[in-house]
Amino acid sequence: MTSEEHGQRKATRKTSPRTPAEAPSLFRMNIEVGNLDEAAKFYGKLFGLVGRLQAGSRCYFTCGAVTLQVVDVSSVGKPHPAAKALYFVVNDLDAIFARAKSLRCLSEEDVHGEPGGQIRVRPWGERSFYVEDKWHNPMCFVEVGTIYPG
Evaluate whether 117 touches 130 at the Cβ level (below 8 Å).
yes
CA distance linking residue 59 with residue 91, whole number of Å = 23
Identify the architecture of domain 28-143 in CATH. Roll (3.10)
pLDDT tens per residue across span 60-101: 999 999 999 999 999 999 999 887 899 999 999 999 999 999
86, 141 in Cβ contact below 8 A? no
pLDDT tens sequence across 134-143: 999 999 999 9
Share of the chain above pLDDT 70, in %: 87
Cα–Cα distances (Å) from 85 to 33, 47, 75, 131, 132, in that order, read 15, 16, 25, 9, 9
Is pLDDT at 1 greater than 50 in this prediction? Answer: no
Domain ranges of the chain: 28-143
| Model confidence, pTM | 0.80
